[in-house]
Amino acid sequence: MGIIELVVLSIGLAMDAFAVSICKGLSMKKMNWKNAVIVGLYFGIFQALMPLLGYILGMNFQNKIASIDHWVAFILLGIIGINMIKESLSKENDISNDSVKFKDMIILAIATSIDALAVGITFAFLNVNVVVAIFLIGIITFFISTFGVKVGNVFGNKYEKKAEFVGGMILIFLGIKILLEHLQIL
C-alpha cells in the first residue's frame, strides 16, 4: 500500500471522528479553538493507537491465514464501510454536548476508532509501512477532527451524515482494490 492509498485510507477512517467533531462544534455556543484541538488530539491519538494494536494482533495470526489475507482485508473494510454508510443514512440524531472532559472524550475516541483497529489487523497481511500508516492516520484525523469542530460550529449538522457516507464509500473501495490487486484483476 503506497502513500496515496494510506492518505485516502486515513481520510476514510477519520470520517467517523469528523462527524462526531461536527456534533461537538454544533453544541458549542461560541467556537473554542482550545477545545477543538483537544477533540482533535483525542481522536488523532486513538485513531493512531488502534491500528497499531490491530497490527500486533494481526501479526499473531498472519501465518495462519496468509492464503486468505486479501479476503480478510476486503471483508473487514467492506463491513466497516457498509456500517458507516448505514449510520449516515439513519434518521437518528446522536446526542452531543460540548464537553471535552476525559470521561466524555475517551468513550467517543474509542467508539470512533474501532474501525481503525480492524484496519490495523489488515496491515499485518498487506505490504504496509506501519509507522508511516499510523503517523498519517493520526495526523490526518487530528486535523480533520479539529476542522470538524469548526465546521460544526459554523454549518451545523449539514455535513455530518455526508462525511460518514463518503468515509464508508472510501473504505469499501479500498477493500475492493486490495481484493482485485491480489486476484491480479487490477
Q: What angle do CA 174, 14, 109 make, to 5 degrees?
A: 130
Annotate 139-155 with b (16+ C-beta within 10 A) or e (fewer).
bbbbebbbbbbbbbbee
| Cell numbers standing for residue 117 | 483497529
Amino acid 78: pLDDT = 83
Q: Provide mean pLDDT across the span 89-114.
A: 76
DSSP, res 124: T
In this predicted model, which residue has the larger pLDDT, 52 or 99? 52
Amino acid 124: pLDDT = 85
- In the predicted structure, residue 131 carries a pLDDT above the cut 70: yes
Q: What is the pTM of this model?
A: 0.73
What percent of the chain has pLDDT above 70? 90
